[in-house]
Homo-oligomer: A and B are copies of this chain.
């Protein structure tokens, strides 16, 4: 049986609590299978690493990640290591993404269950049936372009960042979006988002997306939206953007967060950040190194109480099996088990719910029930 090395980064705040439940789920899936075996090892990362060794991404953690088949993360950060601190947890995350070449961030925003419709801030008729997967370019654009801080010479009175994209950077993220679109049956529609009426980097983006999809994926349909217009549509008619949204780093940061509130609780949503695949236009979607994390933050206000929602992390573990280990069936099994837990009536008529969804279930209860359902 195949053996996989999974690095676990519990992180700060509620991170360790939600990761513990996802580990339980991965362990049961691994025990039940004769085909594969998961070796899980935890490492320090984020604020806790700053406290322990003075830096958010210790060299030993970096090395472990480079040697891993996949990485499961909780959440990092907190007021203790705020925006004004010299060393911040986010710097570790940005370095980790860049060093591992995690250029493709995949964030589905959909209702895990119709029964959660009431938790959406949108009217039910508008939120119903929303199914958007945001594919965000993660190691290019203004995040990593040349920049100048205010007090650096020359011209101490200005600061700047560079939104920069090369043709190959746009090609590879477009191919990831195309592969995701093709993995559904029928294939999903692709919506590319840019600001081509103003920005040069967006004009390159639009041109390369158009050429790549037209030449390499003629079976797919796609359109282009300006980012300001997309930000309106996500609120007013989100189903119009059902399918795959593909966009650059900063726009993706904004739009993926914006769309993630539609399903009603951030606690439910997973994410994947992938390296390396698909490397050539014709390549299948091959297993590749990835970092998986729930989209919620470290929520210091409820940390330690055992009431955080672990579902986003558990679904991230499912994505890990799918994209980094090529294990589609157990991935699907976890997703089915989660849906079952959310839908099987418990107290009060609906499924088991944590506090973010108005329920009283603990983090551990949810994990236990998902394990049971498996």
A residues adjacent to B (C-beta < 8 A): 83, 88, 90, 94, 120-123, 126, 142-143, 145, 147-150, 157-168, 195-201, 203-204, 206-207, 224, 227-229, 231-232, 234-237, 250-251, 253-258, 260-262, 266
Contacts and interface: CB of A to CB of B under 8 A. Distances in A.
A228 B200 contact: no
A287 B201 CA distance: 38
A90 B203 CA distance: 15
A160 B257 contact: no
Given A142-B163, A159-B164, A166-B158, A200 B232 contact: no
Contact of A88 (B166, B197, B229, B234): B197
A157 B168 contact: yes
A355 to B, nearest CB: 16
B231 A255 contact: yes
A145 B195 CA distance: 15
A364 to B, nearest CB: 27
Contacts of A255: 231
Contacts of A234: 258
Nearest to A93: B197
Given A121-B122, A121-B123, A122-B123, 11 more contacts: A121-B236, A143-B198, A148-B200, A150-B200, A158-B164, A158-B167, A159-B203, A231-B257, A231-B258, A235-B262, A251-B254
A-B pairs, top 7 by smallest CB distance, nearest first, are: A159-B204, A160-B164, A231-B258, A228-B257, A158-B166, A147-B200, A150-B204
Contact of A199 (B147, B196, B198): B147
Contacts of A261: 232, 235-236
A119 to B, nearest CB: 10
